[in-house]
Amino acid sequence: MISQIAIVLFDGFAFGMLLFLLSVGLSVTLGMMNFINLAHGAFGMFGGYVAVTAMRQLGLPFLAALPLAFIAMALLSVIVERTLFRRLYRAGELNQVLFTIGAVFVSAAVATFVFGTVQQVIILPSWLRGSVEIGDVRFGVYRAFIILVALIVTALLVFGLERTRLGAQVRAAVDNQRMAQGLGLDVERVFAITFALGSGLAGLGGALAVEIVGLSPSFGFQMLVYVLIVVSVGGLGSITGSFVGAALLGIGDVAGKYFWPEIGSFLIYLMLVAILLVRPLGLFGKR
């Protein structure tokens, strides 16, 4: 039983770290600009396709394909934000929801046209395959790698948010956007940079997720529910909230499907309801 619990906690935490990479950008941008971007998962999907294509067509190694997915999605998000999303900042929530969910359908159609509907696979380097035995428990090497990447990203985000000028501007915009604008802060510029960073992390998460959850044109829809639950549980504009919420969701999802397969898929929704009943703003939400 102890070994089973250890495996569930490890696998669940690894899955949670994937969700953290996919969702943290949405949490910060939604908390900063109140912009409901349901197309956030599409950047994860295209990040996965960039990594797969780079490895197959360009012959790049896996470790080179990961930063390429991040950079490609960050650049794509700049174009999308400047040409499409910026027009919706002052629109109503319904307009934002309808437009961005429509963007998910468009991105799925584009992915189907270009890549087909077949599930994509990624060939991991030999040193990321297999498992390591500690005591009587075997831990997957690739899942440990995902955890390591997520922890490094978390440390960099916290350092950037707490120790840099841009981080201070982001915190100011999240806490009180009108006051920040009144003090001369270019909130739209800060948002554009943050949006690009969050979309890039979604692309990185999508590239890492190919081996775990697969990759198809429906990826944006499949991960949308998970991402929204992470944001709701963690609270808007909080990196710590996204990290804790993703970890709880990942462990709860894996534990539910492992120990109670009949109701495992519903456990995360029960967790969501229970947490929001006690903390309506999320665990670390301020508004």
Mention every residue, 6+ apart, whose C-beta is less than 8 A from residue 201.
Answer: 21, 22, 24, 25, 70, 153
Q: What is the pTM of this model?
A: 0.91
Cβ-count burial of 132 within 10 angstroms (0-12 exposed, 13-18 middle, 19+ buried)? exposed
Domain ranges within the chain, ordered by starting residue: 2-278
> Tell me: the pLDDT tens digits for 82-104?
898 888 887 888 999 999 999 99
C-alpha distances (whole Å) from 17 to each of 24, 52, 57, 171 are: 10, 21, 28, 23
pLDDT tens, N- to C-terminus, the chain (287 residues) = 778 888 999 999 999 999 999 998 888 778 777 788 899 999 999 999 999 999 999 999 999 999 999 999 999 999 998 898 888 887 888 999 999 999 999 999 999 999 998 899 888 999 999 888 887 788 999 999 999 999 999 999 889 887 888 888 887 877 777 788 887 888 788 888 888 999 999 999 999 999 999 999 999 998 999 999 999 999 887 888 899 999 999 999 998 888 888 777 788 888 899 999 999 888 887 66
Which CATH number among 2.60.40, 1.10.101, 1.10.3470, 3.30.70 corresponds to the domain 2-278? Answer: 1.10.3470
Q: What are the tens digits of pLDDT across the range 243-270?
A: 999 999 999 999 888 888 877 778 888 8
